[in-house]
Chains A and B, each alone.
Chain A
């Protein structure tokens, strides 16, 4: 029984790291989706309130989306580091 446990512990180390990387990447995508969804939603609402400002609103929305995606990409980079280094 103990040999089985030690065997499982030995093999589980690398696998748990990879599982952690996968879960981390998923959570990063979740965070990016939520953030950009909120940005898009508020941008659409403000265009509805004031259609003549839609050019300004659109460019600000894209800039904010790029910054939020940057945060998600940091998590992706850490997950890639776990997987490949």
Chain B
């Protein structure tokens, strides 16, 4: 297979997606200027919105239908928002598939939100004008787009490293991107997969490596403040839930008989805990459900909390800046120092959460494959 061709195809696909989506959206405060003729005293209070730190943080951490890059001139009367408007794809049983840019949800002249093709955007959720309509929102949102970007990054990195190994063989020292990726892969194989799973670790190694690099690369991309980074992918509970569900299904479908015996008929436990009230099986079943759930929540909470803390430190500058510009500049020194420290901590957390997820997944796989020798039962 021609590796370079597939890499070019991927990049061409990505640029095709990107082009035609980038539209600057202009000021959204002109409607307040229209109303200001009658209320000239309140005009200065309305023309500049007070800085709302909670809203800013929630906007950055949640998903949206447009990717807001920057706002030019937010102190003046006409702030200019530069954002990437992502496509909205809605499937409804009555109307079929509707595809349009999310820029259509804002009227260009009045900058008021408007309905388009029977749909409206309320609090970043698509709402239908007809309350009885059943529709499925399949849009490319910010997180989906960021997932595609990280997919592209992973494909480029791993396809080129694999082709380097094919061309240069195993006997030569690694060079370039290989020398960055190979220690991580060997680390996961030797320190995580082999000790936890045992002799049959190779079956699970592709999944473990994919999960590790997926979480690591998405965490790192989330720390970059501007496009293409900055989307909170691994802090989206749907994404982490899917990863945890995958771990759960692999554990369940590759489990040996001893795994099920340990859950429903735990050896070494007195009989009155299992019959008539099956206390022990219930406890073990709760454990089976809670282990993947805990994986999901741990990753989500760690990454989202890290983003919230870094954003809160930055917001301190603007909160103090509202009071007086001098205090704002003064606080910015401490705030930037704290945020740099938080970013280093977040780098550590990015790697650590990927490692912990992979380690726990491999421990669960190992416990599913374990075959005990039941020496206690043969006494």
Contact = CB atoms under 8 A, between A and B. Distances in A.
Interface of A: 62-63, 66-67, 69-70, 73-74, 76-77, 84
B359 A63 contact: yes
Contact of B294 (A62, A63, A70, A84): A70
> What is the interface of chain A mostly: helix, strand, loop, or mixed?
helix
B238 to A, nearest CB: 15
B353 interface: yes
Contacts of A74: 294, 297, 301
B301 to A, nearest CB: 3
Contact of B352 (A62, A73, A76, A77): A62
B152 interface: no
Contacts of B305: 73, 76
B58 interface: yes
Nearest to A59: B191
B356 A67 contact: yes
A66 B353 CA distance: 8
A71 to B, nearest CB: 9
**Interface size, B (range):** 10 to 19
A77 B297 CA distance: 8
B298 interface: yes
B302 interface: yes
30 contacts: A62-B352, A63-B355, A63-B356, A63-B359, A66-B298, A66-B352, A66-B353, A66-B356, A67-B356, A69-B302, A70-B294, A70-B297, A70-B298, A70-B301, A70-B302, A70-B356, A73-B297, A73-B298, A73-B301, A73-B302, A73-B305, A74-B294, A74-B297, A74-B301, A76-B301, A76-B305, A77-B297, A77-B300, A77-B301, A84-B58
A63 B352 CA distance: 8
A66 B345 CA distance: 13
Contacts, number: 30
Contacts of A70: 294, 297-298, 301-302, 356
Contacts of B356: 63, 66-67, 70
B312 to A, nearest CB: 13
Closest 10 CB pairs of A and B: A73-B301, A70-B298, A66-B356, A77-B301, A66-B352, A74-B297, A73-B302, A76-B301, A76-B305, A77-B297
Given A77-B300, A77-B301, 13 more contacts: A62-B352, A63-B355, A63-B356, A66-B298, A67-B356, A70-B298, A70-B301, A70-B302, A73-B297, A73-B301, A74-B297, A76-B301, A77-B297
Contacts of A73: 297-298, 301-302, 305
A67 B352 CA distance: 10
Interface in B324-379: 352-353, 355-356, 359
A63 B353 CA distance: 9
Chain B CB count within 10 A is highest, among A63, A67, A73, A84, for A73
Contacts of B298: 66, 70, 73
Nearest to B359: A63
A5 to B, nearest CB: 32
A69 B305 CA distance: 11
B43 to A, nearest CB: 33
A21 to B, nearest CB: 14
A77 B353 CA distance: 17
A74 B294 CA distance: 9
Contacts of B302: 69-70, 73
A76 B300 CA distance: 11
A61 to B, nearest CB: 12
Interface string B284-313: 000000000010011011100100000000
Nearest to A65: B352
A62 B355 CA distance: 11
A67 B58 CA distance: 26
Contacts of A69: 302
B343 to A, nearest CB: 18
A74 B300 CA distance: 10
